[in-house]
Chains A and B, each alone.
Chain A
Amino acid sequence: MSDLQLRSVAKHYGAVRAVVDVTLAVAAGSRTAIVGPSGSGKTTLLRLIAGFEAPDAGEIVLGGATLADGAGAMVSAHRRRIGYVPQDGALFPHLTVAANVGFGVAGPAPERARRVDELAELVGLDRRMLGSWPHELSGGQQQRVALARALAQQPRLMLLDEPFSALDAGLRTATRKATAQLVTAAGVTAVLVTHDQAEALSFADQIAVMRDGRLAQVGRPMDLYLRPRDEDTATFLGDAVIVSALLERGWAECHLGRIAVDDTERRGAARIMLRPEQLQVAEAPAGAPERGTGVVTDVDFTGHACLLTLQVGGADALAAPGETPAPLMVRTTAQGALPVGARVRVTVTGPAHVLGSLA
């Protein structure tokens, strides 16, 4: 069990700066997800930790030992004892499942076989599968083998590079859960790289959002979801309703009405964020005030949910003259669906988050 420290790590390829000044601490035994859009540098960061690439600057320290510093000192990948599970599992096609799992295990054959058995049981692989070839397994089984293979060498750190993305939706959730439980039970520190924010939020104790080679924000999943630092992070982690507002002692005035916010100090103009699940709609009673009242302009029914598009009126003091506020998206159940053209009243539960304040 080791803790991982990245200190001002940087890597560039020619003029492309893939990783810029990344500082991150991963506690021993914890699970961290690095999440970001494709091309944000998250896979490069993972390869730097694994030792497949050398950083141009900065330090990578695992369990107190320096693995790489920008000056050129570098422990090679095969001496790091860092487990690595790539996207498609990357099982060795010329080896059986048992030989794959036992690849990193040293020692005499009987002991290795015992360890392979142990691991197969740990990851929930049928013993009969040990003699099969990788191509005979399903995608989910292949991932389990890849996981067992990485766990076999009792790694100090486990790197998971989008290991669930090739699986279909149901299997993805189950495999993700099983993996999270496994690495925690094995007491292995884990770092997951993914572009899927739901996966990151559900897997990790700590999330690091990466953008353009930098860490935009690092924190606990709940904190990041509810209190993102900026609009990009807010929308990357989930659907968000972002509106202009005037702040005053913990309250915001906007075209949705008067809403509580999580910052009691700030005053004046600001952007505030609500998650769609904080908004509820109901048919507007006659004579309802214009602020906070809207008209349904579109209904998108997808079965388990119904996404309403609203045009909320209300002369917004903050909007420039003639500007119509952006349409509002509200999720409801099928039963709560309203027809296009219906007048609705929008209510908000919970405080809105003021963007730009510290999480």
Chain B
Amino acid sequence: MLVPLGFVVWITIQTGWSASIDLLVRPRVGELLLNTVLLIGIAVPLAVALGVALGWLTERTDLPGRRWWSLLAVAPLAVPAFVHSYAWVGAVPSLHGLFAAVLVSVLAYFPFVYLPTSAALRRLDPALEDVAASLGERPARVFVRVVLPQLRLPIWGGALLIGLHLLAEYGLFALVRFDTFTTAIFDRFQSAFNAPAATMMAGVLAVCCLGMLVVESATRGSARYARLGPGSARQAPVARLGAAGSAVALALVVAVAAVSLGVPLATLLRWVALGGAKVWQQHEIVPALMQTMGLAAAGAVLTTCAAIPMAWLSVRAPSRLSRILEGSNYVAGAMPGIVVALALVTVTIRIAPPLYQTLATVLLAYLLLFLPRALISLRASIAQAPPELEKVAQSLGRAPLRALFEITMRLAAPGAAAGAALVFLAVTNELTATLLLAPTGTYTLATRFWSLTSEIDYVAAAPFAVIMVALSLPLTWVLYRQSRRTAGR
């Protein structure tokens, strides 16, 4: 788990202090840093504003058809970010640079804020708002003083997630020709294999990620936002938009749906129509699908199995060690795929050369990158299985390990399955680490799509994108259902 973190420190020591400084203090690095800061500084606040606005409109107003708009606000998640980018470049070929990067980032990632925010809005105790109103606050002020502060956790969480994705994403920015650390590292790695410059930049990128984690946890606060007192909350009141308000709100949601879903779907459909039946007969489609399924299934099984002992320890025997172990997983999971991939390349070449460019290394990268996804849902479902049941099973003659598997793991199975599905999907849409680590001859949907897109063969790439979206749809639906259910409806 500590491989990517150790890698950063180790590289710095290896390269030597002065050499590191030379490699880092260069106009190119400054330029990339500026790009990164601009991208995050503009795209994250925009995505938060959009996510919160849509959350409020779909949860707290009488917007016509709000259940549908709510589903449509989650749906962009089903389209991988680099497919969003591909669609926009296909629709508007001149699109490039910071503007394009911000536009596509916001459209691809705003659901990360929308999902938790709308769920939180549904859970908020309306009594607090009633009290604020009774204390003489106007509705707008109530929203700013009472509602918005309570949305702090979901907004912060969503913003962090978007920030980490922006740092890690390769395909999206490569297509709109916007340079970030990740694209620069990738190019350097491809052109000059394992250049120290690439690894040093990976170090900077890792530090950026760590910095974001630190800033987030330092500013998140420890306040309790759950409802105090017994009983359950009333349903929240619905604000009346009025005719003019409804028109403006509808215009907004229609516009968002049009650009975040309409453009990708229309472009995809156009390429597919242009290609006709012929593009579906490419002989690469079936092997790529099979390989993707195989890799994703292996990754999901491996990651879930690795998550079992860790989740069990952190629930049943919490100790400082298990907390540190768990924490380092989340940090490793927050690392961009390219950093993890570079770390594994370096480690396998120096320590275990036979493992270089093997399936084992790819799977290890998936494990490091996606373990938190498996861990979170497994941990929650193990926590819901009462420890007393395991004890009862023991008193009825089951050995401890058997009691664990027969009772607790059986009860946690839905959580494990959900975690495995999340990992499966993540692997299906993973591009960067797979490109760098996969043995020659490995083609997944994502890498095949990527190589065709790089050859500007947008038509041939379209079927791969369509399959990826189709595979992502069920899970997006599950995510949407889950966010409704946590709200108890």
Asked if B388 and A78 sit within 8 Å, CB to CB, the answer is no
- With an 8 A cutoff between CB atoms, is A128 at the interface? no
Cβ of B386 to closest chain A Cβ, rounded Å: 6
Beta-carbon contacts of A67-94 to B below 8 Å, as 1s and 0s? Answer: 0000000001111111110101010111
User: Which of A77, A92, A150 touches B394 (beta carbons < 8 Å)?
Assistant: A77
Q: Assign chain B's interface to a size class.
A: 10 to 19
* Stretch among B347-355, B403-411, B446-454, B464-472 lining the A interface: B403-411
Q: Counting chain A CB atoms within 10 Å of each CB, which of B388, B395, B403 scores highest?
A: B395
Asked if A78 and B394 sit within 8 Å, CB to CB, the answer is yes
Q: How far is the CA of A79 from the CA of B400 in the complex (A)?
A: 11
User: Which of B398, B410, B411 touches A78 (beta carbons < 8 Å)?
Assistant: B398
Asked if B397 and A78 sit within 8 Å, CB to CB, the answer is yes
Asked if B394 and A103 sit within 8 Å, CB to CB, the answer is no
Asked if B389 and A82 sit within 8 Å, CB to CB, the answer is no
Set of chain A residues within 8 Å of B395, measured between Cβ atoms? 50-51, 77-78, 80, 82-84, 150, 159
Set of chain B residues within 8 Å of A103, measured between Cβ atoms? 393, 396
Given contacts A78-B397, A86-B391, A103-B396, contact A94 B410 (CB under 8 A): yes
- With an 8 A cutoff between CB atoms, is A52 at the interface? yes
Set of chain B residues within 8 Å of A79, measured between Cβ atoms? 397
Beta-carbon contacts of A105-117 to B below 8 Å, as 1s and 0s? Answer: 0100000000000
- With an 8 A cutoff between CB atoms, is A331 at the interface? no
Asked if B396 and A149 sit within 8 Å, CB to CB, the answer is yes
* Interface of B (DSSP majority class): helix
Cβ of B207 to closest chain A Cβ, rounded Å: 39
Q: Who on chain B is nearest to A86 by CB?
A: B388
Asked if B389 and A78 sit within 8 Å, CB to CB, the answer is no
Set of chain A residues within 8 Å of B403, measured between Cβ atoms? 78
Given contacts A84-B392, A86-B392, A94-B411, contact A78 B386 (CB under 8 A): no
Set of chain B residues within 8 Å of A78, measured between Cβ atoms? 393-400, 403
Set of chain A residues within 8 Å of B386, measured between Cβ atoms? 90
Q: When A and B form their complex, what is the total count of cross-chain residue pairs whose Cβ atoms lie within 8 Å?
A: 59
Q: Who on chain B is nearest to A149 by CB?
A: B396
Set of chain B residues within 8 Å of A81, measured between Cβ atoms? 397
- With an 8 A cutoff between CB atoms, is A173 at the interface? no
- Could you tell me which residues of chain B, from 330 to 349, have a CB within 8 Å of some CB in chain A? none
Set of chain A residues within 8 Å of B410, measured between Cβ atoms? 94
Beta-carbon contacts of B397-439 to A below 8 Å, as 1s and 0s? Answer: 1111001000100110000000000000000000000000000
Set of chain B residues within 8 Å of A77, measured between Cβ atoms? 391, 394-395, 400
Set of chain A residues within 8 Å of B400, measured between Cβ atoms? 76-78
Q: How far is the CA of A106 from the CA of B389 in the complex (A)?
A: 19
Cβ of A107 to closest chain B Cβ, rounded Å: 12
Q: How far is the CA of A206 from the CA of B398 in the complex (A)?
A: 31
Q: Counting chain B CB atoms within 10 Å of each CB, which of A92, A104, A153 scores highest?
A: A92
Q: Who on chain A is nearest to B394 by CB?
A: A77
Set of chain A residues within 8 Å of B407, measured between Cβ atoms? 92
Q: Who on chain B is nearest to A87 by CB?
A: B388
Set of chain A residues within 8 Å of B397, measured between Cβ atoms? 78-79, 81, 104, 106, 153
Set of chain B residues within 8 Å of A106, measured between Cβ atoms? 397
Cβ of A141 to closest chain B Cβ, rounded Å: 17
Set of chain B residues within 8 Å of A50, measured between Cβ atoms? 391, 395
Cβ of B403 to closest chain A Cβ, rounded Å: 7
Given contacts A78-B400, A78-B403, A92-B389, contact A52 B394 (CB under 8 A): yes
Cβ of A34 to closest chain B Cβ, rounded Å: 17
Asked if B411 and A52 sit within 8 Å, CB to CB, the answer is no
Q: How far is the CA of A78 from the CA of B398 in the complex (A)?
A: 5
Set of chain B residues within 8 Å of A94, measured between Cβ atoms? 410-411
Set of chain B residues within 8 Å of A92, measured between Cβ atoms? 389, 392-393, 407
Cβ of B253 to closest chain A Cβ, rounded Å: 40
Set of chain B residues within 8 Å of A104, measured between Cβ atoms? 396-397
Q: How far is the CA of A106 from the CA of B397 in the complex (A)?
A: 10
Cβ of B481 to closest chain A Cβ, rounded Å: 22
Cβ of B402 to closest chain A Cβ, rounded Å: 8
Beta-carbon contacts of A140-184 to B below 8 Å, as 1s and 0s? Answer: 000000000110110000010000000000000000000000000
Q: How far is the CA of A209 from the CA of B386 in the complex (A)?
A: 29
Set of chain A residues within 8 Å of B392, measured between Cβ atoms? 84, 86, 90, 92, 149
Q: Who on chain A is nearest to B407 by CB?
A: A92
Asked if A52 and B396 sit within 8 Å, CB to CB, the answer is no
Set of chain A residues within 8 Å of B388, measured between Cβ atoms? 86, 88, 90
**A-B CB contact pairs (8 Å), 20 listed:** A50-B391, A52-B391, A52-B394, A76-B394, A76-B400, A77-B394, A77-B395, A78-B395, A78-B397, A83-B395, A84-B392, A86-B391, A88-B388, A90-B386, A90-B388, A90-B392, A103-B396, A149-B396, A152-B396, A153-B396
B residues near A, CB below 8 A? 386, 388-389, 391-400, 403, 407, 410-411
Q: A76-B400, A78-B400, A152-B396 are in contact. List 14 more A-B contacts (CB 8 A).
A: A76-B394, A76-B399, A77-B391, A78-B394, A78-B395, A78-B403, A83-B395, A84-B391, A86-B391, A90-B392, A92-B393, A92-B407, A94-B411, A153-B397
Q: 6 shortest A-B CB distances, which residue pairs? A: A104-B396, A84-B395, A77-B394, A90-B388, A78-B394, A86-B388
